[in-house]
Amino acid sequence: KSKDLKGYAPICLGLEDFYTRRLYLRIQDCFGRPIASAPDSRIDVVERFSTDNNKTLQRTINTTSCINLGSYNYLGFAAADEYCTPLVIESLKKYSPSTCSVRVDGGTTKLHAEAEELVARFVGKPAAITFGMGYVTNSAIIPVLMGKVSVFQSSFGKSQGGLIISDTLNHNSIVNGARASGATIRVFQHNSPSHLEEVLREQIAEGQPRTHRPWKKIIVVVEGIYSMEGELCNLPEIIAVCKKYKAYTYLDEAHSIGAIGKTGRGVCELLGVDTADVDIMMGTFTKSFGSCGGYIAASKEIIQYLKYTCPAHIYATSMSPPAVQQVISSIKVILGEDGSNRGAQKLTCIRENSNFFRSELKKMGFEVLGDNDSPVMPIMLYNPAKIPAFSRECLRQNVAIVTVAFPATPLLLARARICISASHTREDLIKSLEVISRVGDLVGIKYFPVENEKA
């Protein structure tokens, strides 16, 4: 009835409809626009498509160059690279964009075999398997690991007696995989080893042998860096609990592999965890490596089992060869096997850029989530109604920032999610900070006193 609500959702719509459909439509014009460039430190955002006077289909595209704080291009490989790009072009000419075949037929090129060996060596596991999509890696592998789906079994039928214990803030691809597995699912409070232990204790006794308990398999699923929180996993403590209760660990390193750790080997390297203590290491190639696809790295037996039984390996066309070549080349740069020290420089740069940006935002009075060294840094807006103004104003001042709200976050915990890259220059970062500070004042999201006022 209120005049203020005119044009907004009728009350009969559910909250989800309101925020995802109505509000989302209203913010489409902030970042939900086509991009006309590589997702590098700057991107060309399409301003508008305009038809000519005769209303023919001919379109003019106006683009604006913006500083890009929205892509997962952590090491800057998602742009022309002096080592990677020529090799990717060569692989495109040699192999074409597609293998046009599944892995078990003609879809395993020399590149696929090389990439799997290299990924295993890089992440510190005996073997690895790759998939065409990071999302599918989680959603297709978790059901297979739980024994629900394989080529030998019907995907219907009863649960196989597995238990998945998942962090409350795990990514949707994990949630989907867990649901599809038919296993019993329990969640534990975000990043809380003590609550994980409580949940485990409800199910089994400490030290109970795997053969003498009601669950055929228990898997604890966590992420290396939480994508909406920018927070590092409390991995050493979580592993200690898993060992105590003899539960398997599944670690999604989508945002951490390549981006953190002295040599880019992710959260295990940064927190001093032995990779032998993580049973399943999952990651994607879409972030630090600037490519497409995902991987699972584990023991030789598990990888062999997945190769024989996982429908997404057996029935899906394999990764595009140029994307595989990009994975190989970028990992070689990170390892210094391209003959330069650019990999080490990129790693130093992303750490310095991330720590500088995070501390400057905090000094300005923003509430910034996440840990030091993490290139993912959400700025809390809280009220989802602040999204359009924040996003549009930043874009108007040529800074492109992704904003996220329900259902990707809890309803009243809307945020702007900044992703820092090694390709950002100090100048890019300073200019962005000036813009974010001005827009922050305008929108009213500096929830803490600015640093010099505190003193």
Strands 162-167 and 184-188: parallel
Q: Are 308 and 152 a contacting pair, CB within 8 Å?
A: no
Sign of CA dihedral 297, 301, 305, 307: positive
Instruction: Check residue 135 for interaction with ligand PMP (CB under 6 A).
Output: yes
DSSP label at residue 187: E
As a whole number of angstroms, the longest Cα–Cα distance in the chain is 77
Taking CB under 6 A as the criterion, the residue among 41, 234, 284, 432 binding ligand PMP is 284
Q: Which is nearer to ligand PMP, 255 or 415 (CB)?
A: 255
Give the SS3 label for residue 160: coil
Instruction: Check residue 250 for interaction with ligand PMP (CB under 6 A).
Output: no
Site string for ligand PMP, 214-243 (x = CB under 6 A): ---------x---x----------------
Q: Which is nearer to ligand PMP, 370 or 440 (CB)?
A: 370
Instruction: Check residue 167 for interaction with ligand PMP (CB under 6 A).
Output: no
Q: Which is nearer to ligand PMP, 227 or 391 (CB)?
A: 227
From residue 61, alpha-carbon distances to 51, 65, 68, 350, 410 in Å are 9, 13, 19, 33, 36
d(CA 276, CA 278): 6
Taking CB under 6 A as the criterion, the residue among 197, 252, 371, 373 binding ligand PMP is 252
Strands 294-298 and 376-382: unpaired
**Cα 337 from chain centroid (whole Å):** 26
Site string for ligand PMP, 171-190 (x = CB under 6 A): x-x-----------------
User: Which region among 80-88, 129-137, 147-155, 264-272 touches ligand PMP (by CB under 6 A)?
Assistant: 129-137
Taking CB under 6 A as the criterion, the residue among 39, 134, 147, 321 binding ligand PMP is 134
Q: Which is nearer to ligand PMP, 41 or 256 (CB)?
A: 256
Instruction: Check residue 138 for interaction with ligand PMP (CB under 6 A).
Output: yes
Instruction: Check residue 417 for interaction with ligand PMP (CB under 6 A).
Output: no
Q: Which is nearer to ligand PMP, 133 or 445 (CB)?
A: 133
d(CA 67, CA 428): 7
Number of residues that bind ligand PMP (CB under 6 A): 14
Length of the chain: 455
Q: CB 209 → ligand PMP: shortest distance, Å? A: 32
Q: CB 397 → ligand PMP: shortest distance, Å? A: 26
The vertex-369 CA angle with 363 and 372, nearest 5°, equals: 75
d(CA 369, CA 379): 7
Taking CB under 6 A as the criterion, the residue among 286, 329, 354, 409 binding ligand PMP is 286
Q: How far apart are the first and last CA of the chain?
A: 48
Q: Which parts of this chain interact with ligand PMP (CB under 6 A)?
A: 133-135, 138, 171, 173, 223, 227, 252, 254-255, 284, 286, 294
